[in-house]
């Protein structure tokens, strides 16, 4: 099982489960047999509602994860390695995943569970092995006796707490930079209004599929709003125009960094200047020297590692790729930053850095909107929080006046209603 989903969308669930080791007699596939076995496995996984004949493309991310797991089981595996299985799941689905893992272990299957979410390891693991920079730094730590702080120390090599930067709060007289009014995208979300002042970080909390990412993308013009207005510094943006949004000073760090944000084979500096290279150019001719030096300046400012903006961005870690995304908008000079899952696939050490960076950008006058599946992250980072559920804003208030459980309650209530 891999971190990135590895199922073929165009095939049915059963075909995916038996992909590569199809049940067959003399070259003819035994569809009925495969369907039956798949149904058994899915039942065992606690998901009898997934039909083996369904096309995988129609399933949710969580459903695909289940199919991926079913495939592992179809091999009659004794050992299952799960690489970040929870990356695409929301908390409810993670709970179900854990239930399945526990069933597996009690049935005698050994499970290696790879995750960067320490609380998950704490919940599901028996023993912990810590890897850092390709080396094992600790192994066989008993979960129950190892404090989280110690794990973080082992992982980062230094004493970083899962802490968020201090903030003095936003002064009341700070001007409103981003003003979203009654924004809607038919069938996904409706009547979303929010204002973000200069220096303020607003968080959007909610489950996967609640419409958080779509809200950001619609503000950005990457999806065309069916109703509502977006103003930046008092000027109205044209709906459905990314160029207009970028021109007005909005930057988006998309949810899927690799597939939506980066040109993986291109050097770092070209990724950093992807939205500004024509500004450096004279008469249509590129000025790569100026691009490089602008990218290099941001790379130093953000402490991008490894140094050197000529290497392909594919070779950077997730955290540094995220920094390069931020660098893109720093070079551009942004009034508004929309950050979708800024720490997905980023290890703990780099997270604290990214949090500090986001706060620093806000302190320098940017209006920031952060979306994250990790509720503590939203609460810790943001000044103000909007809770989104089923495409509606169900709560808005200061981040300090609400805790994780309250957010979860609201989210669940919203989805019941």
Partner 1 sequence: MSEQKVSVGDAAQQPPAGESHDAGGKDNVPASSSRRSRITAGSFGRNGGLVLALLALFAVGYFTAGDRFLSFNNFTVILQLAAITGVVSIGMTFVITGGGIDLSVGSVLGLASVWATTLATQDMARELGWWIMVLCALAVGLGAGLINGVLVAYGKVVAFIATLAMLVSARGLAELIANRRTQIVDVDSFDDTFKGDFLGLPKIVWIFLLVAVLGWFLLNRTTFGRRTVAVGGNPEAARLAGINVKRHTMFLYGLSGLTAGIGGIMILALTTAGSSTNGTLLELDAIAAVVVGGTLLAGGRGTIVGTVLGVLIFATLTNLFIQNNLDSSVQAIAKGAIIILAVLLQQRLARRS
**Judged by CB, which is closer to partner 1: 85, or 244?**
244
Alpha carbon 183 to chain centroid, angstroms? 23
**Judged by CB, which is closer to partner 1: 74, or 213?**
213
Q: List residues binding partner 1 (CB under 8 A).
A: 220, 222, 242-243, 245-247, 252, 254, 259-266, 270, 274-275, 277-278, 281, 284-287, 289-290, 292-294, 296-297, 307-310, 328
**Judged by CB, which is closer to partner 1: 28, or 285?**
285
User: At its nearest, how many Å lie between partner 1 and the CB of residue 329?
Assistant: 10
Tell me how far apart the alpha carbons of residues 26 and 208 are, in angstroms, rounded to a whole number. 44
**Judged by CB, which is closer to partner 1: 175, or 308?**
308
Per-residue b or e along 263-289, where b marks 16 or more CB atoms closer than 10 Å to that residue's CB: eeeebbbbbbbbbbbeebeeeeeeebe
User: At its nearest, how many Å lie between partner 1 and the CB of residue 243?
Assistant: 5
**Judged by CB, which is closer to partner 1: 293, or 317?**
293
Tell me how far apart the alpha carbons of residues 388 and 119 are, in angstroms, rounded to a whole number. 24
**Judged by CB, which is closer to partner 1: 189, or 220?**
220
**Judged by CB, which is closer to partner 1: 278, or 401?**
278
Tell me how far apart the alpha carbons of residues 30 and 270 are, in angstroms, rounded to a whole number. 50
Task: Order the strands of the 189-197 sheet from edge to edge.
Answer: 189-197, 176-185, 227-232, 235-236
User: At its nearest, how many Å lie between partner 1 and the CB of residue 185?
Assistant: 17
Determine phi and psi for 156, rounding to 5 degrees: -100, -20
**Judged by CB, which is closer to partner 1: 152, or 248?**
248
Tell me how far apart the alpha carbons of residues 131 and 336 are, in angstroms, rounded to a whole number. 37
Tell me how far apart the alpha carbons of residues 133 and 128 are, in angstroms, rounded to a whole number. 16
* HSE, side-chain direction, 13 A CA sphere, residue 204: 31
User: At its nearest, how many Å lie between partner 1 and the CB of residue 342?
Assistant: 15
3-state secondary structure of 11: coil
User: At its nearest, how many Å lie between partner 1 and the CB of residue 203?
Assistant: 21
User: At its nearest, how many Å lie between partner 1 and the CB of residue 237?
Assistant: 13
Q: What is the 3-state secondary structure (H, E, C) of 234-259?
A: CEECCCCCHHHHHHCCEEEECCCHHH
**Contact yes or no for 209/414 (Cβ under 8 A):** no
User: At its nearest, how many Å lie between partner 1 and the CB of residue 79?
Assistant: 32
Q: Which two tokens stand for residue 384?
A: 């103000």
**Contact yes or no for 205/382 (Cβ under 8 A):** no
User: At its nearest, how many Å lie between partner 1 and the CB of residue 205?
Assistant: 23
**Judged by CB, which is closer to partner 1: 125, or 251?**
251
User: At its nearest, how many Å lie between partner 1 and the CB of residue 266?
Assistant: 6
**Helix pair angle (288-301, 318-332), 10° resolution:** 120
CA-closest candidate to residue 205, choices 86, 4, 381: 381
Tell me how far apart the alpha carbons of residues 289 and 210 are, in angstroms, rounded to a whole number. 44
In 254-395, alpha helices (H): 268-272, 277-280, 288-301, 318-332, 348-363, 375-381
């Amino acid at each position: 099982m891999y971190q990135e989903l590895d199922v073929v969308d165009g095939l049915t669930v059963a075909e995916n489960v038996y992909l590569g080791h199809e049940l067959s007699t003399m070259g003819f596939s035994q569809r009925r047999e495969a369907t039956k076995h798949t149904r058994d496995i899915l039942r065992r996984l606690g998901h009898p509602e997934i039909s083996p004949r369904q096309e995988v493309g129609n399933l949710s991310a969580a459903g695909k994860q289940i199919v991926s797991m079913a495939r592992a089981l179809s091999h009659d595996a004794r050992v299952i390695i799960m690489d970040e299985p929870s990356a695409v799941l929301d908390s409810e689905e993670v709970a179900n995943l854990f239930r399945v893992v526990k069933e597996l272990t009690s049935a005698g299957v050994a499970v290696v569970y790879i995750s960067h979410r320490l609380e998950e390891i704490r919940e599901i693991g028996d023993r912990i092995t810590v890897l850092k920079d390709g080396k094992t730094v600790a192994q066989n730590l008993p979960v129950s006796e190892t404090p989280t702080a110690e794990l973080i120390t082992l992982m980062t090599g230094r004493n970083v707490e899962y802490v968020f930067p201090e903030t003095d709060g936003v002064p009341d007289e700070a001007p409103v930079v981003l003003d979203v009014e009654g924004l809607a995208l038919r069938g996904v979300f409706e009547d979303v209004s929010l204002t973000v002042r200069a220096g303020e970080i607003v968080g959007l909390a909610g489950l996967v599929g609640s419409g958080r990412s779509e809200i950001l993308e619609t503000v950005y013009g990457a999806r065309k709003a069916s109703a509502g207005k977006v103003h930046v510094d008092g000027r109205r943006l044209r709906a459905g125009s990314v160029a207009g949004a970028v021109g007005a000073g909005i930057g988006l760090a998309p949810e899927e960094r690799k597939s939506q944000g980066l040109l993986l084979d291109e050097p770092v500096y070209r990724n950093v200047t992807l939205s500004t290279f024509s500004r450096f150019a004279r008469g249509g001719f590129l000025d790569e020297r100026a691009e490089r030096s602008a990218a290099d300046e941001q790379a130093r400012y953000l402490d991008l590692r490894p140094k050197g903006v000529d290497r392909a961005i594919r070779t950077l870690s997730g955290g540094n790729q995220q920094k390069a995304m931020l660098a893109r908008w720093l070079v551009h000079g942004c009034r508004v930053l929309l950050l979708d899952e800024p720490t997905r696939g980023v290890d703990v050490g780099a997270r604290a850095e990214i949090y500090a960076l986001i706060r620093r950008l806000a302190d320098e006058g940017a209006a920031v909107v952060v979306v994250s599946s990790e509720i503590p992250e939203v609460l810790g980072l943001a000044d103000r929080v909007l809770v989104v559920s089923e495409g509606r804003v169900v709560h808005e208030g200061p981040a300090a006046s609400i805790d994780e459980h309250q957010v979860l309650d609201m989210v669940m209530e919203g989805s019941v209603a």
